[in-house]
Structure 1
Amino acid sequence: MSVLHAAPLIAVLGSDPLVTWVLLQTSDDTAASRLSSRESGQSLARHLERSRAANARLDAECADDVMRVDTDSKAPNQLAEEIAAIVGW
Structure 2
Amino acid sequence: MDTACPPAWPQIAAQPFKRPVPGHGPVMSSVDVERCRGGFEALLVCADQGLHPAACSAARRSHVAPWLDDAGRARGAGMLGYYFKTASAARIT
TM range (shorter): 0.3 to 0.5
RCO comparison, higher one (Cα < 8 Å, 6+): 1
* Larger Rg, first or second structure (1 or 2): 1
TM normalised by structure 1 equals 0.35
Greater share of strand? 1
Greater share of helix? 2
